[in-house]
Structure 1
Amino acid sequence: MGVAYDWPRTLMARGAGALRAEHLRLRSQEARSGVLHCFLLDCSGSMVAGGKLARAKGVLLALMDEAYRRRDQVALLSFGGGKVELHMPPRRARVWNEAWITPIGGGGGTPLQAAVEQAGELLMRSAHLRRCIWLLTDGRTLEKPARPAAADVVHLIDFEASHMPLRRAERLAADWGAHYVRIG
């Protein structure tokens, strides 16, 4: 593996003088992490109820902000109303704000199977990166898709907030061997 230099920091250290060896700054391992975070945002009718979609969007913004700080790549798929939408193909993360995520609406059914299949295809095209899926859902679907083979790591964030929880997202996380977090 070759050495990677952090040229902005190197040039700042050099100042106006000639470039010398002591000015060279190595890029941190974190800055060249080579990770693709594929976010799957459940925008079904059950997520709209009780403000779960709004909370999921807030979590998504925080995760994307962290990906930006780590210089990772991100992709975003939303699913709901019987369709899957690619809002952002894989690309380097950048600074995010609520203005771009607010128009993503919700309602209708939960095409989880189709969303997971599309995410798997997207991850297959990025085999040179470490590939992570982040599924943000309340698990209110009967579909039980298989874990995408191309995913190196899976995180499932459960937004189910029912007095009588079905725990479908929790079971899916267990089946997938995913890191599970419940936000009730």
Structure 2
Amino acid sequence: MGAGSSRGVSRGPAGRRIGWPRTLAATRGDTLRREHLRFIAETPRGGVLHCFVLDCSGSMLSGRRLALAKGLLIALFDRAGAARAEVALVCFGGTSADVRFGPAVPRWWNERWLETVGAGGGSPLDTGVRRATQLLERSARRRPAQQRWLWILSDGRTRDEPARPLAADEVVFVDFEHGALRLGRCEALANAWGARWITPEELIG
């Protein structure tokens, strides 16, 4: 389907459909480049799972990072519920990681899912990712055609360097590190994984 079709879309990389009206608007009269491309969101036929991994370590209390992360999670759960996508929530901190919700479609938001999530102790990112990997692998066996997203919400204050979960089709790091003294570990790990790296402000906007 070409640019002149009634729907104004054609195929981009990996079969993704390009939305030409938005793409052409993004060029602002300039020569079309890759960064101008705007794609149409399509729901995979096998459904979608968003697995959120929340850092509940002591450093996330600084600057109310954990409070911001919790608020962001509520918004993301709402979006997933509206799209009828499955959601899972893994929280890690101290020396452990626990599955607090799912995988399931969030029909409503229950404050108790985050009520007992308190920050403290170390930041066992490796343990959190390993727990999420187990969950994603089970989902992959249960629903092979499902698209699986892994979201890691953290300030990156850890020395762990876990391996990228193979069962995750897309990975997004939401980096809560702020201040003048930045370690940049979330960004570095995102680059190593070939994952997306964004700030909470970019996600909210």
**TM-score calculated relative to the size of structure 1:** 0.79
The question of 1:56 aligning with 2:58 is answered: no
Q: What is residue 138 of structure 2 aligned with on the other side?
A: 125
In structure 1, what residue type is equivalent to 2:116? P
- Whether 1:138 aligns to 2:155 is yes
Listed one character per residue, the Cα deviations across residues 133-181 of structure 1 (whole Å, up to 9, x for unaligned) are 0000000000011110110000110000121111001101111111111
Secondary structure (helix, strand or coil) at the match of 1:55 reads: helix
CA contact (8 A) 1:61 1:97 kept: no
CA contact (8 A) 1:140 1:168 kept: yes
Mapping for residues 8-27 of structure 1, pairs under 5 Å = none
Q: Distance in 1 between matches of 2:132 and 2:53?
A: 8
Find out whether 1:95 has 2:112 as its counterpart: no
RMSD (Å), alpha carbons: 1.7
4+ runs deviating over 6 angstroms: none
Whole-Å separation in 2 of the counterparts to 1:156 and 1:54: 17
The counterpart of 1:173, out of the listed 180, 190, 199, is 190
* Cross-structure match for 2:53: 40
List aligned pairs for 1:144-163, cutoff 5 A: 144-163=161-180
Whether the aligned pair in 2 keeps the contact of 1:133 and 1:154 (CA below 8 Å) is: yes
CA distance in 2, matches of 1:61, 1:33: 24
Fraction of identical pairs, as percent: 49
8 Å contact 1:40–1:77 — kept in the other structure?
A: yes
Number of aligned residue pairs: give it: 156
Displacement after TM superposition at 1:182 (Å): 1.7
CA contact (8 A) 2:100 2:113 kept: no
Q: Would you say 1:81 and 2:94 are equivalent positions? A: yes
2:84 is aligned with 1:71 = yes
Distance 2:131 2:157 in 1: 19
Gaps of 5+ in 1: 1-28
1:11 maps to: none
CA distance in 1, matches of 2:103, 2:83: 15
Gaps of 5+ in 2: 1-41
Query: Which residue of structure 1 aligns with residue 26 of structure 2?
Result: none
2:154 alignment partner AA: T
Distance in 1 (CA, whole Å) between partners of 2:121 and 2:181 is: 22
For residues 67 and 152 of structure 1, the distance between their equivalents in structure 2, rounded to whole angstroms, comes to 17
Contact 1:37 1:134 in 2 (8 A): yes
